Chains A and B, each alone.
Chain A
Amino acid sequence: MASNVLSAAASASPSTSPVTDLLKGKGRLGSGNVGSLFIKDKGNPFLNSKSCGRISMAVAVNVSRFEAITMAPPDPILGVSEAFKADNDEKKLNLGVGAYRTEELQPYVLDVVKKAENLMLERGENKEYLPIEGLAAFNKVTAELLFGADSPVISEQRVATVQGLSGTGSLRLAAVLIERYFPGAKVLISSPTWGNHKNIFNDARVPWSEYRYYDPKTVGLDFEGMIEDIKAAPEGSFILLHGCAHNPTGIDPTPEQWEKIADVIQEKNHIPFFDVAYQGFASGSLDQDAASVRLFAARGMEIFVAQSYSKNLGLYSERIGAINVVCSSTDTAARVKSQLKRIARPMYSNPPIHGARIVANVVGDPALFDEWKAEMEMMAGRIKGVRQKLYDSLTSKDKSGKDWSFILKQIGMFSFTGLNKNQSDNMTNKWHVYMTKDGRISLAGLNLAKCEYLADAIIDSYHNVS
């Protein structure tokens, strides 16, 4: 095939300058110019068989090996920010990705993080490879933060903790472990859930199905549907649960409901798999937000928990998180950890140090830890404040009698507005409010000043668009 291309290039019209240059030894082979030569010629270049002397250079094939690749659609969540950036309207509002913004709608680097980074600079630490499982100091504090430092799972060393690339990377490590050691086992994910969950399990080739979660009629939890679906799943399934501040709905089970969920999971010998991306961010309290995980751990269950420090420590781009596997014994935990390492090594060898050191410094130092708790209460407090203001704006402006109280009942960064795709499009196209098509808005991107504008947009989209 290469030789056909070669002779085709040689036999094309000699007056065409790129090829003439080629033959004269000038110009570059396989440049865009030569490519366009084939477009200009209507005939099939491969049928043209005249050859023009010997050309001894081996020409690279002019047809791309990747020609058949189609343009992939933009990521439904991360693509929103890109669209927002491209919009020049001054009223625009980015309620897409869940990244915290200040009241001035600016990104926020926590003071404790800056302090930790300065400490790290002063110490002049080296940049050697971490072990495959990550920074030991980080792994220790992250498990303690999650389970509580005095939890038996910690004192009995029954948790396999491996530093992962934030929540996504930690979920992926677990997914690969599931595929390898629980072949055929299914993961049940909530309907709806974070858009990337299914991608992670698809790429790891883990089958998944959904359990009912969001009830559009009540804009609340379909608890009976959830329990039914978990019960109906084949025994030994993995049940993906959001530890707190469910994404995208903001709807969390009550403590009583968590107990019942744990009951049915134990009954069916399922394995609970928590995604904890908002510890501290939901209620403002680290311990309270970990209550669901700790409830399960206290029952002696074996559990997977993926953690992220993107939101609660504002370390988004540092990619810091962990996968924790609570096992029935120390030895089991050691074995599971060794297998998680075997998954990480061919993926990225060992994880990045910077974010891990920041977390270890903040969580490991009592003064910084207290400062962190205060900053987190401030962030969670600001979100609760905008929820209240948005609710007040909606109820005062909307005369239809629609119940907007779900805004106050939902918790965390996100609110599931109940807007459908067309209505969400109207939010963007008419009002320049950027959000995801499932009707999710990120309250972290809202401030008090814009609540009234947003209320107008929501009321318009809800009532005037179907």
Chain B
Amino acid sequence: MASKSFSSSSSSGCSPASDRRISVLARHLVAENALSSSPIYASPTSSANSVFAHIARGPEDPILGVTVAYNKDPSPVKLNLGVGAYRTEEGKPLVLNVVRKAEHMLVNDRSRVKEYLPIVGLADFNKLSAKLIFGADSPVIRENRITTVQCLSGTGSLRVGGEFLAKHYHQRTIYIPLPTWGNHPKVFTLAGLSVKTYRYYDPATRGLNFQGLMEDLGSAPSGAIILLHACAHNPTGVDPTPQQWEQIRRLMRSKALMPFFDSAYQGFASGSLDEDAQPVRMFAADGGELLVAQSYAKNMGLYGERVGALSIVCKDADVAGRVESQLKLVIRPMYSNPPIHGASIVAAILKDGNLYNEWTIELKAMADRIISMRKQLFDALRARGTPGDWSHIIKQIGMFTFTGLNSEQVAFMTREYHIYMTSDGRISMAGLSSKSVPHLADAIHAAVTRMK
């Protein structure tokens, strides 16, 4: 067989393909002896002959990898404060009652089918998602200036938006805050954009570096894309005030910077859907264009269903129509059309007055529990006299707290106290309970006092 492939080749000796062929054959010859000790199958290929031999093992995803490590730990006091998935006071995942209700309705509806959705997704879902983020009486909706397409949760919406901008927008640089969600730079780079950063977090105050932010946006080239966290900034939990948002808006509009909002926590941050949407609505109200990626992973607890939407607000309906047609060209070669189940659940809840109200109540309960955890952790650290100012724990908002702990302290907490979190010091408050707060406080106290 080896001689057959050699003699049948007609390529000359200088091509990379024939180099590869020759080296494959060389490995064949070298490995002859090794092969005799392995079981015989038809035309076996050993590792050495694999076309994938040059593919190295990729590292575990830093955020999702935390849960992998947590699962491996046998300790009974282990705590998973890694990925941002809500947990109940009992430490259990939560499926909202209203989601269960909607799901029962859908599964028991005999008239429902599983036909392909349009490329842009479920029409009802799209309309209702736009209403949710922009407000039902928003001018951008009334004037039909938006295109909203269903995507795979926040990640999928960001990726589709990024690919669209890389193809059709004149400025291919996106500025992301420092720090930001670990997946952001990868999403945008693979989408074809070049990624830069703007100052955001101030470690000295554990708050917003507003001056740095304004300076960096001010020196960005005209038309550049700016990624903004709509609320509950991930990982810091630090949000601009309404006044700061207004200044950001003015600066951005004066430089024609394109806002791209990541809205993953609407309703989850303050407990109010409208309040958490204010920054987006502020920009939408000024008549300018913008992008918003919405996720229902957290606020409806639909994590694994992958439900989200990308909205692009355009100057007018005609532009929005053309933009939508181009979004379809991005989506079709990626996954053809989006998954129906989660979007149907969302649409059922948003369109029914009673279910919607029930949802807002359950949502507020989740947000309130997190706010309560913040308070409890803050109190626990104060009670222990842990050195440092921990008020940022109650000033920050949303699912995450940027503790300010460094990676050595984090590693210490994992090793000695079985606390699992990302190495940047971010903890998911959603993973805490009244019972586990003391253990976490002990761990932080030990880390701060024993490690630098």
- Chain A residues in contact with chain B, CB under 8 A? 1-3, 28-32, 34-35, 57-75, 78, 82, 97, 99, 107-109, 113, 117-118, 121, 124, 126-132, 152, 165-166, 168-169, 172, 181-182, 184, 196, 199-200, 202-204, 234-236, 266-269, 271, 298-302, 310, 314-319, 325, 327-329, 331-332, 334-336, 338-339, 341-342, 345-355
A56 to chain B, nearest CB (A): 9
Closest to A60 in B: B288
B17 contacts A129, CB within 8 Å?
no
Q: Which of B197-205, B333-341, B359-367, B390-398 lies at the interface with chain A? A: B333-341
Closest to A130 in B: B304
B57 contacts A334, CB within 8 Å?
yes
Q: Report the separation of the CA atoms of residues A40 and B169 in the bound assembly, to the nearest whole angstrom.
A: 28
Q: Is B45 an interface residue (CB 8 A)?
A: yes
**Binary flags per residue of B99-115, CB closer than 8 Å to A gives 1, else 0:** 11001100100001111
Q: Which of B18-26, B265-273, B370-378, B409-417 lies at the interface with chain A? A: B18-26
CB-defined contacts of A169 to chain B, threshold 8 Å: 334-336
Q: Which of B127-135, B148-156, B350-358, B434-442 lies at the interface with chain A? A: B148-156
CB-defined contacts of A130 to chain B, threshold 8 Å: 304
A128 contacts B143, CB within 8 Å?
no
A181 contacts B47, CB within 8 Å?
no
B5 contacts A203, CB within 8 Å?
no
A181 contacts B5, CB within 8 Å?
no
CB-defined contacts of B304 to chain A, threshold 8 Å: 127-130, 350, 352-353
A299 contacts B287, CB within 8 Å?
no
Q: Is B305 an interface residue (CB 8 A)?
A: yes
Closest to A64 in B: B315
Q: Is B219 an interface residue (CB 8 A)?
A: no
CB-defined contacts of B104 to chain A, threshold 8 Å: 121
Taking a contact as CB atoms closer than 8 A, the residue among B9, B302, B330 that contacts A127 in the complex is: B302
Q: Is B214 an interface residue (CB 8 A)?
A: no
CB-defined contacts of B49 to chain A, threshold 8 Å: 328
CB-defined contacts of B64 to chain A, threshold 8 Å: 129, 131-132, 345, 350
**Chain B positions 55-114 with a Cβ under 8 Å from a chain A Cβ:** 55-59, 61, 64, 83, 85, 93-95, 99-100, 103-104, 107, 112-114
A317 contacts B337, CB within 8 Å?
yes
Q: Is B170 an interface residue (CB 8 A)?
A: yes
Q: Report the separation of the CA atoms of residues A301 and B328 in the bound assembly, to the nearest whole angstrom.
A: 37
- Chain B residues in contact with chain A, CB under 8 A? 4-5, 8-9, 11, 15-18, 20-21, 24, 41-47, 49-59, 61, 64, 83, 85, 93-95, 99-100, 103-104, 107, 112-119, 139, 143, 145, 152-153, 155-156, 159, 168-170, 183, 186-187, 189-190, 222-223, 249-251, 253-256, 258, 285-289, 297, 301-306, 312, 314-317, 319, 321-323, 325-326, 328-330, 332-342
Taking a contact as CB atoms closer than 8 A, the residue among A35, A97, A317, A339 that contacts B58 in the complex is: A339
In this complex, the member of B93, B186, B223, B333 whose beta carbon has the largest number of chain A beta carbons within 10 angstroms is B333
B156 contacts A72, CB within 8 Å?
no
A72 contacts B115, CB within 8 Å?
no
Q: Report the separation of the CA atoms of residues A168 and B335 in the bound assembly, to the nearest whole angstrom.
A: 5
Taking a contact as CB atoms closer than 8 A, the residue among A107, A199, A331 that contacts B113 in the complex is: A107
Q: Report the separation of the CA atoms of residues A435 and B92 in the bound assembly, to the nearest whole angstrom.
A: 50
Additional pairs, 7, CB under 8 Å, beyond known A65-B223, A300-B41, A347-B159: A28-B285, A58-B253, A62-B315, A69-B326, A200-B333, A266-B43, A335-B52
Q: Report, nearest first, the 6 A-B pairs whose CB atoms are least far apart.
A: A30-B287, A60-B288, A64-B315, A165-B335, A317-B340, A348-B152
CB-defined contacts of B306 to chain A, threshold 8 Å: 348-352
A126 contacts B95, CB within 8 Å?
yes
A58 contacts B249, CB within 8 Å?
yes
Closest to B122 in A: A317
CB-defined contacts of B254 to chain A, threshold 8 Å: 2-3, 58
Closest to B185 in A: A346
Kindly count the residue-residue contacts between A and B in the assembled complex, taking CB atoms under 8 Å apart: 324
Q: Report the separation of the CA atoms of residues A35 and B95 in the bound assembly, to the nearest whole angstrom.
A: 46
B139 contacts A316, CB within 8 Å?
no
Q: List 6 A-B contacts (CB under 8 A).
A: A65-B258, A121-B104, A152-B41, A169-B334, A236-B51, A317-B337
A127 contacts B51, CB within 8 Å?
no
CB-defined contacts of A234 to chain B, threshold 8 Å: 11, 15, 17
B55 contacts A339, CB within 8 Å?
yes
CB-defined contacts of B18 to chain A, threshold 8 Å: 235
Closest to A262 in B: B43
A184 to chain B, nearest CB (A): 8
- Given known contacts A65-B256, A181-B54, is B45 in contact with A300 (CB within 8 Å)? yes
CB-defined contacts of A200 to chain B, threshold 8 Å: 333
CB-defined contacts of A319 to chain B, threshold 8 Å: 335-339
A75 contacts B342, CB within 8 Å?
no
CB-defined contacts of A299 to chain B, threshold 8 Å: 42-43
A109 contacts B113, CB within 8 Å?
yes
B119 to chain A, nearest CB (A): 6
Q: Report the separation of the CA atoms of residues A200 and B15 in the bound assembly, to the nearest whole angstrom.
A: 28
A156 to chain B, nearest CB (A): 9
Q: Report the separation of the CA atoms of residues A80 and B18 in the bound assembly, to the nearest whole angstrom.
A: 46
Closest to A182 in B: B51
CB-defined contacts of B328 to chain A, threshold 8 Å: 72, 75
- Given known contacts A58-B286, A66-B169, A316-B115, is B46 in contact with A329 (CB within 8 Å)? yes
Q: Report the separation of the CA atoms of residues A355 and B55 in the bound assembly, to the nearest whole angstrom.
A: 30
CB-defined contacts of B187 to chain A, threshold 8 Å: 346-347
Q: Report the separation of the CA atoms of residues A97 and B118 in the bound assembly, to the nearest whole angstrom.
A: 12
A117 contacts B339, CB within 8 Å?
no
A352 contacts B339, CB within 8 Å?
yes
B303 contacts A203, CB within 8 Å?
no
A129 contacts B4, CB within 8 Å?
no
B339 contacts A355, CB within 8 Å?
yes
A302 to chain B, nearest CB (A): 5
CB-defined contacts of A66 to chain B, threshold 8 Å: 168-169, 289, 312, 314-315, 319, 322-323
A71 contacts B325, CB within 8 Å?
yes
Q: Report the separation of the CA atoms of residues A332 and B306 in the bound assembly, to the nearest whole angstrom.
A: 30
A224 to chain B, nearest CB (A): 17
B155 contacts A348, CB within 8 Å?
yes
- Given known contacts A127-B302, A235-B17, is B256 in contact with A329 (CB within 8 Å)? no
In this complex, the member of B83, B189, B288 whose beta carbon has the largest number of chain A beta carbons within 10 angstroms is B288
CB-defined contacts of A345 to chain B, threshold 8 Å: 61, 64, 155, 183, 186
Q: Report the separation of the CA atoms of residues A341 and B63 in the bound assembly, to the nearest whole angstrom.
A: 13
CB-defined contacts of A347 to chain B, threshold 8 Å: 152, 155-156, 159, 187, 190, 334
A208 to chain B, nearest CB (A): 12
Taking a contact as CB atoms closer than 8 A, the residue among B43, B57, B250, B255 that contacts A300 in the complex is: B43
Q: Report the separation of the CA atoms of residues A99 and B337 in the bound assembly, to the nearest whole angstrom.
A: 14
Q: Report the separation of the CA atoms of residues A143 and B309 in the bound assembly, to the nearest whole angstrom.
A: 32
Q: Report the separation of the CA atoms of residues A302 and B143 in the bound assembly, to the nearest whole angstrom.
A: 55
B45 contacts A301, CB within 8 Å?
yes
A317 contacts B339, CB within 8 Å?
yes
A63 contacts B315, CB within 8 Å?
yes
CB-defined contacts of A204 to chain B, threshold 8 Å: 333
Closest to A201 in B: B333
Q: Report the separation of the CA atoms of residues A334 and B56 in the bound assembly, to the nearest whole angstrom.
A: 10
B128 to chain A, nearest CB (A): 18
CB-defined contacts of B249 to chain A, threshold 8 Å: 58
- Given known contacts A65-B256, A113-B114, is B50 in contact with A124 (CB within 8 Å)? no
Q: Report the separation of the CA atoms of residues A359 and B155 in the bound assembly, to the nearest whole angstrom.
A: 25
A199 contacts B143, CB within 8 Å?
no
A318 contacts B340, CB within 8 Å?
yes
CB-defined contacts of B21 to chain A, threshold 8 Å: 235-236, 269
Q: Report the separation of the CA atoms of residues A163 and B277 in the bound assembly, to the nearest whole angstrom.
A: 34
B362 to chain A, nearest CB (A): 14
Q: Report the separation of the CA atoms of residues A380 and B441 in the bound assembly, to the nearest whole angstrom.
A: 63
B61 contacts A328, CB within 8 Å?
no
- Given known contacts A113-B114, A129-B303, A166-B336, is B321 in contact with A71 (CB within 8 Å)? yes
Taking a contact as CB atoms closer than 8 A, the residue among B41, B54, B55, B332 that contacts A75 in the complex is: B332
A325 to chain B, nearest CB (A): 8
B155 contacts A346, CB within 8 Å?
yes
- Given known contacts A168-B336, A317-B340, is B315 in contact with A181 (CB within 8 Å)? no
